[in-house]
Amino acid sequence: MSKTSVARVGGIDILRAAHAELWVTDLARSREFYVDFLGFVVSEESRNQIYLRGVEERVHHSLVLTQAEHPAVAHLAFRVLRPEDLEALSELYRAAGCLVRERAPGEECGQGRAVLVEDPNGFPIEYFCEMDAVPSHHQLYHLHRGAAVRRMDHFNLFVADFESAYSFWTEKLGFRLTEYVETDDEPRRITAAWLHRKPSVHDVALMQGSGSSVHHLGFWMDDMQSIIHCCDLLGGAQRHLHIERGPGRHGISNAFFLYLRDPDGHRIELYTSDYLTIDPDLEPIRWSSTDPRRQTLWGHKTPESWWQESSPVVDLTTMQPRLNQQVVSEQLRPFIK
């Protein structure tokens, strides 16, 4: 398996991880979690949907909450540079035998024309070029609330066939490798990879799992203190059970982190302090699969729920969740009854 790749494949310019749509079972409860505690800004809302953005974002949304019967991830979205990139991506996925759907401007509020695909591993992925501009709250500190999440950063995915998924994201889509986990025994085998398009550690991470599901959505925070402040907010409000793991520092990425579970069990990472990856000759960092510091640099044990639970993705043919993973953590059941 190659550990290097070019950043641009077939003329396609994917810019970054941009937004996600979560199906939630109680929109009011989810609004409280994301707006009151995490501090997302509401761009637009209706009886069935809420469009959210981080305080520094100048586009319409980076997170969509949609009322549904079952929790799931409806799609993950990446922004591209030009409209022509949408055409190239449509051709690429059709050639791979994938389901491809065109989405008209405005079909998703605030967004221009888009292409929605079901990738070879069953993930619903959307690509778009244009989105409505909105005012940033970056320096409107008097309007900040809760933890004041800054912006979308990355997606982390469980994949059943790691090698084919890794090949598709790097060779077909042009994502570059920054860090990876590899077994020590021969023949060595990579079991997780951090891949990027923007100049940070990752836009998407792939981890070997039992099926295709979303492990977490990662959002950028201002600094370490803002993450600790979030813990204080949740603790003070007796919502401490939303905290699954951390705060702590990753070995992989060097980022300071906190993992939360929302009222439906979707995992959210608050993330800050990784490093610049813009140089084209940057050498990927290898981690041994037996090194506990890859998970938390300080060596703290990772809870079993973090390894075993994830959010199912929506099957674009049936429009139902692929129920191959448990989404709800037992510790959250008091919040979702």
Supply the CATH number for residue 176's domain.
3.10.180.10
pLDDT number for residue 330? 54
Report pLDDT for 22.
98
Distance (Å) of CA 236 to CA 35, 145, 331: 17, 15, 18
Residue 310 lies in a domain: yes
CB 313 within 8 A of CB 124: yes
DSSP 133: B
In a domain, 70, yes or no: yes
> Is residue 1 in some structural domain?
no
The Cα-based distances of 166 to 121, 159, 175, 194 in angstroms read: 10, 9, 9, 10
Q: Identify whether 4 is part of a domain.
A: no
Predicted local distance difference test score (pLDDT) of residue 59: 98
Q: What is the pLDDT of residue 7?
A: 46
Residue 2 in domain: no
Residue 181 lies in a domain: yes
CA 56 from chain center: how many Å?
18
**Residues 116 and 125 sit within 8 Å (Cβ to Cβ):** yes
Regarding pTM above 0.85, the answer is yes
Q: Is residue 220 part of a domain?
A: yes
Q: Are 78 and 154 in contact (CB under 8 A)?
A: no
Cα distance between residue 213 and residue 173, in whole Å? 20
Which pair of structure tokens corresponds to residue 112? 């221009």
Asked, for residue 5, whether it belongs to a domain, the answer is no
- For the chain, 337 residues long, the average pLDDT of each consecutive 10-residue run is 51 96 97 98 97 98 97 97 97 98 97 98 97 97 97 97 96 97 91 97 95 96 97 96 95 96 96 96 94 88 91 94 63 48
Residue 187: give the domain boundaries: 14-336
Report how many domains make up the chain.
1
